[in-house]
Amino acid sequence: MALPSLTRQLLWERSGYKCVLCQKDVARSIHVFSGSRSFGALCQIISEDRESPRYEWLKEYDYYDNYILLCSDCSSEIVENWERHPSARLKTLRGVHEAEIRTAIAEEKRQKQEKEERLRTLQRITSGEQLHEIIKNVMDFEFEPCEVSLPEETDFISNFSQDFLYFVKRLHFGGGMGWIEMLLTIINSKIAELEKQNFQLYGKQKQVKNEDGKIVNVACFVIGTNLT
């Protein structure tokens, strides 16, 4: 009997697609041209292979507790140096590893919720005029770009952030009507570019205590994504 596909899926997911022994990221399949991750395999802790030093007679081998996700190096290691990796130890390690993965997933979810809640307290900014209101009478700015994973997104967000802060500071400094209007037009087009890439700008004015203990107005801006 082979290991049921649902059990396989659970073993992969609960191990977070990482080798239980060395914590290396492992893949179920690799894209030939872009993949640099190493393969992982679900290995029997007590082997049904009579030739294996890990062999013991069991009535049934294919059940959740008898499997462990390992990278190719570690799957050789537990056979070659089997005395160093008794089955009870492997089961304990898998339990600890799965608990760590659960904690990491819960933490990630908590951070995401925290950011969502914070964004709800901010105003979605879709125009330079709205932004102009927020920066009136402020002493300082706070700016938080969102976390992105793709390299092209990183470039986009870092360029946007630089330009955005530059023009917002100019706007804050003020000037004649024509100058302000020109800045607002540029900021409008920057925000439109941001929205086109599925990011949003949020902001609000808030009061904070400065170093001298005085209450001052601060404008804070956060970039959100559809994913956060």
Rule CB under 5 A: which residues touch Zn ion?
19, 21-22, 24, 71, 74
Nearer to Zn ion by C-beta: 81 or 111? 81
Nearer to Zn ion by C-beta: 15 or 200? 15
Sequential DSSP letters for the chain: -PPPHHHHHHHHHHTTTB-TTT--BEESS--TTT--SEEEEEEESSB--TTSTTB---S---SGGGEEEEEHHHHHHHHHTGGGS-HHHHHHHHHHHHHHHHHHHHHHHHHHHHHHHHHHTSEEE-SHHHHHHHTTT-SEEEEEPPP--SHHHHHHHHHHHHHHHHHHHHHHH---HHHHHHHHHHHHHHHHHHHHTTEEEEEEEEEEE-TTS-EEEEEEEEEEETT-
Nearer to Zn ion by C-beta: 19 or 220? 19
Nearer to Zn ion by C-beta: 15 or 47? 15
